[in-house]
Amino acid sequence: MAEKSNNESKEQELVGLLAQFDDPETLVHACNEAREAGYTKMDAYSPFPVHGIDPAIGIKRSILPFIVLAIGLGAVVLGLGLQCYANGQDTFWPFPGYKFLISGKPIFSIPANIPVTFEIIVLSSAFATFFGMWILNKLPRFSNPLHRVSRFKRVTNDKFFLMLETADEKFSRSASESQLNEWGAVSIDEVNQDLTDTELPKWLATVGILGAILLMLPPAAIFSQWGMTNRHPRLHVVPDMDWQHKSKTQTMAANLSNELDGVRLMYDDLRSARRPVDGAIAFGSLDIDSELNYGIKSDFAYTITSGGNALTRVKDDAESDDTEKDDTEKEGDDAAAAAPAEEDNLEKYVTTLPDEFELTEEVLDRGQQRFEIYCAACHGYAGAGNGLVNQRAMALAATGAATWTSARSLHEADVKDDAKNPVGRIYDTITNGRGNMGPYKAQIPVQDRWAIVAYVKALQETGIKSDIPVVEDENASEEKKDENENKDENED
Amino acid sequence: MTTVDPQSLDNTYDDASHRTPLVLGGLDYEGVTDTACGFWEADSAPKIWWILLGLAISLLMLLGGLIQHLLFAGVGVWGNNNPAYWGWPIVNFVFWVGIGHAGTLISAILFLFRQNWRTSINRAAEAMTIFAVVCAGTFPGIHIGRVWVFYWLFPIPTEHLAMWPNFRSPLLWDVFAVSTYATVSLLFWYMGMVPDIATFRDRSKSKIGKVVYGLLSLGWTGSARNWHRYEIAYTLLAALATPLVLSVHTIVSFDFAVSQVPGWHTTIFPPYFVAGAIFSGFAMVVTLLVPARELFGLQKLITLRHLENMNKIIMATGLMVGTAYGIEFFIAWYSGVPWEAFAFWNRAFGNYWWAYWIMVSCNVMIPQLFWFKWCRTTPWFMVIVCIFVNIGMWFERFVITITSLCRDFVPSSWAYFTPTWVDLGMLIGSFGLFFTLFLLFCRFMPVIAMAEVKGIMPRDHH
């Protein structure tokens, strides 16, 4: 006999008859019988999928595979499209892509894009399979009249069930029951739908509306600021070393204030860089040794420091400050300095090589090398004033195309004279120039300049005026000898 | 009504007259349910479970503490430095991802090959996959330095970055591959569990249990129409997961193979890595299931035949890995490229020779013991071999990563990599994470795929 289900006090409607079987073979047999008897609205229930039950009940093959195929094909477009958008272009507004320039590789290349596309295909197909299956199965379905049948708990364990639904046209309460017994049912239950009107609890409405209002508050707060300006900076959750209390070079000093309009600069003088302390001297700028650096005796020099440099200034003839003179007199001084004859005090120049300069054969060779680099162009390789530049300049001056004062021959008497042209003055000439000769202090370091001075003195000492060696030829005629001698004389 | 050998627990011998039983002890459907639910239904878990859980949780807390230290102090706490910028974190990542692949292989590939013996082990193996991928995903997640901008890894329009990820980079392919793998494995695992969670729902005695398992089982009734679509979906997911598992570890191998470093830039890496992953994964499955079957009384469902089959797969993939080692040496010599030849000579005889020989002995020599039937059918012994296999596979990733970085093209860049205590602590802690999740899974979720086991039992059987 069919047993009534648990809830007898409430209104119920019969949904179907549930028959229990103890093994899958009987179940399949019963399903076949039911289908042949004309039942269509029925279902079998088992703890595992029973082989042969699909045709027994008449289940048609599901369309799920085609859904998955469609989604999978769409994912091909999705995957390639994503990569084309993100890396293949950079013009789409408002979120342009980003074209990576890597070793000249093509901006869009399918081989490189295959791994991600493949994974997207698998992911999309898996989602389609999973959600498609549950949706087609109409699950989750938490309320099911079947669960009210206590015997039905065994369906997930070891028992098998067949339910004939009342909705089927072949269904009849007594006839169906006897058929089920015929087909081998161990027991038969009524499955009843509970029709009691179940209302939602009354407090649910109030709580729901209240909750909805509360949930609207955060987005409302956010959107109230849309299009508004605010003087406060954005909430910056992770500082990420974005504000550093340091100053970059050549900028204004950093503002250390934490208030909105506060100003508290790192340094009062607005600069980010500090000035050197008074009296500080930069490396390599210490030139208090006037003899070495200027060729001037220490009696005639004084040192000032300015802007990180120690500068030696020469005391003038009258030993008075420069500031007492007016401009015209200063100009006069400059003009006087230009004319060799009316020069400033020759006594200020040192007459011997300074102590800090050590003269060795290597230094002298260095002096020769440096002379040949910087000086020989005008003064000639033997210092005879026949350098190519000088020859050319003289030729141009002769035609009136240029004005030029001839480069001196270093062998001339007043150039060799130690009283008129002491070594300090030679050094000064190299350093600051004289006449058409420009200053070489920017190109030649101090020690090299003294080396050149030493070489010049050596040249003057030897009296060699030509860099072309004179070869004594035994068979040369007297005339040729005379010619050579004349030539030497003419090159003076 | 009963299996042929009701009392014997040894089904490792083949009898030509009938199919070897996979469910032993004369169990019927109800017996399978009772056996599989036994541990879950126990009022309180045995003491050993609590002790193991306590140990695992303490290691998990070690990992958590070290991760916090890393986030606040920076990646300098690791040994990663010039020239080995990829150190233990990447080695650990590849190690755990590889372990995860065995679960998918058992679930998907053995399903497609109609290997019915997979039904006793696939649930635990899939759970192992999920937890291994969780452990694996931790390391790339924390090694990026500015972890709070992790979302820059994904193709999401962001204002702050004003850039998109570089889809040509294998590191980004990794992001997609591992995310896809984690998601699909999770879907597959959950879908497989629904009928068994329904069993829990119907057997649960606590109110909370009924509600939770009721929600999770989605109202499953075992309807044949539902089973029909369910089976189709299962097959589809298995067919999708098969190329997925091959592609994921291939993409992980591309992290190395796509570079120019000698010892890395070789086309053997994808199949080599995949074989190695399955090798280490099966070893981990055996390591987990042998104690589990003792602890939970599952010897009749996870039988010696199941264990032996797994060991045979370990043998096969181990031989593949060993062959790959040999081929690498051959190619290094045959290519005539001096850097390639040196890279491999250096692995065996250079300053990391000790790591190389640990790897070779654990991966190539020790698994040869499985040629002997006693070795591969004795549970406690196979666990020892499998632990060595896992050690060897960790060292394989270590040797590949570190030796190639420490001896690359320019000798002035050579150095010796040393890990820090944080490196070591995180590796140990990751095992804590793994075992915590696995122990909780065993206590609260269906360890055996009961519906599938019943489905493959012979049908002359109640």
| Within a domain: A414 | yes
Q: How far is B225 from chain A (nearest CA, A)?
A: 7
Question: Chains A, B: CB contacts under 8 A, how many?
Answer: 199
Q: Which residue of B has its CA nearest to A128?
A: B233
| Within a domain: A314 | no
Q: What is the CATH number of the domain that holds A434?
A: 1.10.760.10
Cβ atoms within 10 Å of A29's Cβ, excluding its own: 16
Mean per-residue pLDDT for B387-391? 97
B344-B345-B350-B355 Cα dihedral, nearest 10 degrees: 50
Residues β-bridged to residue A302: A313
Q: How far is B90 from chain A (nearest CA, A)?
A: 20
Contact B148 A102 (CB under 8 A): no
Chain B contact for A223 (CB, 8 A cutoff): no
| Within a domain: A176 | yes
The mean pLDDT value of chain B amounts to 93
Instruction: State the Cα–Cα distance between residues A36 and A23, nearest whole angstrom.
Output: 20
Parallel, antiparallel or unpaired: strands A309-314 and A301-306: antiparallel
Chain B contact for A66 (CB, 8 A cutoff): no
Chain A contact for B230 (CB, 8 A cutoff): yes
User: What are the DSSP E strand ranges found in A160-287?
Assistant: 160-165, 187-194
Examine the fold and report which residue of A197, A226, A260 is the final residue of a domain before the chain moves on: A197
Instruction: State the Cα–Cα distance between residues B66 and B419, nearest whole angstrom.
Output: 14
Contacts of residue B384, defined as CB under 8 A and 6 or more positions apart, other chains included, come to none
Q: Which domain holds residue A356?
A: 351-492
Q: Residue type at B246?
A: L
Q: Which residue of A has its CA nearest to B238?
A: A126
Chain B contact for A210 (CB, 8 A cutoff): no
Chain A contact for B209 (CB, 8 A cutoff): no
Q: Which residue of B has its CA nearest to A140?
A: B218
**For the segment B268-286, what is each residue's pLDDT rounded down to a tens digit?**
999 999 999 999 999 999 9
| Within a domain: B30 | no
- pLDDT score for A325: 38
Residues β-bridged to residue B217: none
Q: How far is A30 from chain B (nearest CA, A)?
A: 14
Q: Which residue has the higher pLDDT, A107 or B388?
A: B388
- Name the token pair of A103: 């070793």
Chain B contact for A116 (CB, 8 A cutoff): yes
Chain A hits for B232, CB-CB cut-off 8 Å, are 62, 64-65, 133
Q: How many helices (H) and strands (E) does chain A have?
A: 15, 6
Chain A hits for B218, CB-CB cut-off 8 Å, are 134, 139-142
User: Quick check: B108 and B245 in contact, CB under 8 A?
Assistant: yes
Examine the fold and report which residue of A171, A197, A223 is the final residue of a domain before the chain moves on: A197
Contact B199 A132 (CB under 8 A): no
The tens place of each residue's pLDDT in chain A, 492 residues long, gives: 444 445 455 688 999 999 999 999 999 999 999 999 999 999 999 999 999 999 999 999 999 999 999 999 999 999 999 999 999 998 888 788 899 998 888 988 899 999 999 999 999 999 999 999 999 999 999 999 999 999 999 999 999 999 999 999 999 999 999 999 999 999 999 999 988 877 888 899 999 999 999 999 999 998 998 889 988 877 887 777 777 778 888 888 888 887 878 898 888 888 888 887 887 887 877 777 888 888 888 888 776 666 556 666 666 544 444 443 343 333 334 433 443 443 567 888 999 999 889 999 999 999 999 999 999 999 999 999 999 999 999 999 999 888 888 999 999 999 999 999 999 999 999 999 998 899 999 999 999 999 999 999 999 999 888 777 767 776 655 555 555 455 444 444
| Within a domain: B280 | yes
| Within a domain: A96 | yes
**For the segment B109-161, what is each residue's pLDDT rounded down to a tens digit?**
999 999 999 999 999 999 999 999 999 999 999 999 889 888 888 898 876 77
Q: Which residue of A has its CA nearest to B452?
A: A48
Chain B hits for A49, CB-CB cut-off 8 Å, are 224, 227-228, 230-231, 451, 455
| Total domains present in chain B | 1
- Please give the ipTM for the structure prediction: 0.94
Chain B contact for A46 (CB, 8 A cutoff): yes
A482 exposed, middle or buried (CB, 10 Å; 0-12, 13-18, 19+)? exposed
> Among positive and negative, which fits the CA dihedral B432, B436, B439, B442?
negative
User: Quick check: B356 and B348 in contact, CB under 8 A?
Assistant: yes
| Within a domain: B318 | yes
Chain A contact for B69 (CB, 8 A cutoff): no
Examine the fold and report which residue of A197, A213, A243 is the final residue of a domain before the chain moves on: A197
Q: Residue type at B179?
A: S
Chain A contact for B410 (CB, 8 A cutoff): no
Instruction: State the Cα–Cα distance between residues A37 and A89, nearest whole angstrom.
Output: 65
Q: Which domain holds residue B53?
A: 37-193+246-456
Chain A contact for B254 (CB, 8 A cutoff): yes
- Name the token pair of A492: 């003076």
Parallel, antiparallel or unpaired: strands A160-165 and A42-45: antiparallel
**For the segment B400-423, what is each residue's pLDDT rounded down to a tens digit?**
999 999 998 888 889 999 999 999
Parallel, antiparallel or unpaired: strands A42-45 and A12-21: unpaired
User: Quick check: A347 and A296 in contact, CB under 8 A?
Assistant: no
Contact B226 A137 (CB under 8 A): yes
Contact A156 B201 (CB under 8 A): yes
Chain A contact for B151 (CB, 8 A cutoff): no
Q: What is the CATH number of the domain that holds B262?
A: 1.20.1630.10
User: Quick check: B420 and B79 in contact, CB under 8 A?
Assistant: yes
Q: How far is B13 from chain A (nearest CA, A)?
A: 28
Contact B163 A98 (CB under 8 A): yes
Chain B contact for A158 (CB, 8 A cutoff): yes
- Torsions phi, psi for B17 (to 5 deg): -80, -20
Cβ atoms within 10 Å of B78's Cβ, excluding its own: 17
Which of A22, A65, A143 lies at the smallest CB-CB distance from B232?
A65
| Within a domain: B227 | no
Chain A contact for B260 (CB, 8 A cutoff): no
| Within a domain: A74 | yes
- pLDDT score for B114: 93
Chain A contact for B165 (CB, 8 A cutoff): yes
Instruction: State the Cα–Cα distance between residues B67 and B92, nearest whole angstrom.
Output: 14
| Within a domain: A413 | yes
Chain B contact for A82 (CB, 8 A cutoff): yes
Chain A contact for B201 (CB, 8 A cutoff): yes
Instruction: State the Cα–Cα distance between residues A290 and A300, nearest whole angstrom.
Output: 9
| Within a domain: A210 | no
Angle among Cα B121, B380, B272 to the nearest 5 degrees reads 60
User: Quick check: B274 and B249 in contact, CB under 8 A?
Assistant: yes
Q: How far is B409 from chain A (nearest CA, A)?
A: 20
Q: How far is B141 from chain A (nearest CA, A)?
A: 18
- pLDDT score for B251: 96
| Total domains present in chain A | 2
Cβ atoms within 10 Å of A289's Cβ, excluding its own: 16
Which of B173, B229, B241 lies at the smallest CB-CB distance from A133?
B229
Chain B hits for A123, CB-CB cut-off 8 Å, are 179-180, 183-184
Q: How far is A143 from chain B (nearest CA, A)?
A: 7
Chain B hits for A139, CB-CB cut-off 8 Å, are 218-220, 226
- Name the token pair of A305: 């420091």
A329 exposed, middle or buried (CB, 10 Å; 0-12, 13-18, 19+)? exposed
- Is a pLDDT exceeding 50 seen at residue B245? yes
Chain A contact for B157 (CB, 8 A cutoff): yes
